[in-house]
Amino acid sequence: MSNTAALLLLAALVPAAGLASLTETQRAKAESLPAVTVPAPAEFFGAIDKVSRPDWAAFYRDPGPTSFPTRPQTAFNLGALVADGYIAVEAQDGQQVKNTGKDIVALARALGVGENVLARGKSISDFADKNDWFALREELEATTNEVRRAMADQRDEALSSLILAGAWMRSLQAGGRAAELSGEPSAASLLGQKELIAYLHGQLRDLPEKVRTGPVVERVGNAFASVGELMTVDGGGAPDLEQAGAIEAACAELVTQLGSK
Amino acid sequence: MTMKRGLRLLLLGFLLAGTGRAQDPVPSSPSQPESAPSLRARLLEFGGALANDGFRLRDAYWSGRLEPGRPRRLAVNLFAGNQYWFCAAVDAPEDRPAIVLYDPQGKIVRVLAHESPGLSAAGVTAAFTGRYVVQIETSRGPAADFCLLYLFK
């Protein structure tokens, strides 16, 4: 271990060896893996914290249903709940984290993968009792991956994609609101995630036609298209505060619509 | 906190605490090489120092096969102001995998680089929010299995 520490201390700021730049084609051909390419909401919220220090408790939602008429809608809401969990962690509110954790397990049960995340739910509760925010962020991501892996095992990629969609729509809703409240242009610029949205949208477009044309997938896809458009800035710049407000509104509309039975 | 100051604190972290929290491995790809879990274990040991300095480990990792002269590239979405460490290990101890990061405009990014036998790491504070590309390549060895993960703060 101490050898590793010593080696790290020898790290140096260097220009990396490699091509000086990538062409658009080379960039486009880069591989993508959902579990790595799609960031954890904790990364987004951490970046927001650095520029605006929002009152995260102000972003809580009223408790919603723990059952929904269809599996796609359930999956989307499970993702949104995961984002709520991250928000509660940012607020350092153990009870809220525990409440959200229970709802996550309830929705996972509704999807038939409750057993896979029961242990995670217990860990979330334990870490919340200990105010271990660091571990909670890791546990929330691990829980998401656990559910998504179970979905993949059941060959239900649509649900797996909808979990990510729900998490990011809810995260962008909170991020947009945080930017608006702070009035900080640098907070609004963190919403410049057009390529991430395009990737998430592309995952839905790649689903089999029967699934792709389902009402929930179609509605989420349309929302991705709108949000991607709102993130587009002439000259390749970052969104401003006005756009942040519009992004928040578009995401909030979808989260609210799909969050009710 | 600057990256260099962070590195100084790492030593303190080693002295005061144990390794980072171990997690169940979450393979990012169903076609991962057999060596991926052991390579990831090495990265977790290495990343423990960074975890002690407040870096959080992503749950998933990227693994596969590297052929000489054929870099592999992965898209990652980073946020301006966050600090990141990309860590890669290969199953060829004599090799030092080269990690290169490209920003959303496709330009190469200056990184804080660390190399040791069979393992490399690149640290950076993201200047932009957007889609970066992380590239890994064998520097001198034959074909090798690799595993890459990242931490953020």
At A236 the pLDDT is 79
Report d(CA B23, CA B59) in Å as an integer.
Answer: 8
Report d(CA A233, CA A227) in Å as an integer.
Answer: 12
Three-state DSSP state, B91: coil
Listed by number, the residues of chain B in 26-85 with a beta carbon closer than 8 Å to a beta carbon of chain A are: 26, 28-29, 45-46, 48-49, 54, 56-62, 71-82
Q: Do B73 and A29 touch (CB under 8 A)?
A: yes
Interface probe, candidates B5, B16, B24, B26, chain A, greatest A C-beta count within 10 A: B26
How far is the alpha carbon of A261 from chain B, nearest alpha carbon, in Å?
32
Residue A183: CB atoms within 10 A of its CB come to 10
Report d(CA A260, CA B117) in Å as an integer.
Answer: 54
B16 in contact with A at a CB cutoff of 8 Å?
no
In this structure, are residues B146 and B88 in contact, taking their beta carbons and an 8 Å threshold? yes
Q: Is the pLDDT of residue B40 over 50?
A: yes
Q: Do B111 and A16 touch (CB under 8 A)?
A: yes
pLDDT string in tens for chain A (261-residue length): 344 444 454 555 555 566 789 999 999 999 999 999 999 999 999 999 999 999 999 999 999 999 999 999 999 999 999 999 999 999 999 999 999 999 999 999 999 988 888 899 999 999 999 999 999 999 999 999 999 889 888 888 899 999 999 999 999 999 999 999 999 999 999 999 999 999 999 999 999 898 899 999 999 999 999 999 999 988 878 999 999 999 999 999 999 999 998
B96 in contact with A at a CB cutoff of 8 Å?
no
At A249 the pLDDT is 98
Average pLDDT over residues B123-132: 97
Q: Do A190 and B137 touch (CB under 8 A)?
A: no
Structure tokens of B9? 């604190």
Q: Is the pLDDT of residue B89 over 80?
A: yes
> What is the radius of gyration, based on Cα positions, of chain A?
19
Ramachandran angles phi, psi of B83, nearest 5°: -100, 140
Q: Do A145 and B75 touch (CB under 8 A)?
A: no
Size of interface A-B (CB pairs under 8 A): 196
At A19 the pLDDT is 74
A32 in contact with B at a CB cutoff of 8 Å?
yes
pLDDT in tens, B134-152: 999 987 778 999 999 999 9
Nearest to A203, CA basis, from A174, A236, A166, A252 = A166
pLDDT in tens, A30-82: 999 999 999 999 999 999 999 999 999 999 999 999 999 999 999 999 999 99
Distances in Å between the Cα of A63 and the Cα atoms of A96, A142, A245 are 10, 23, 24
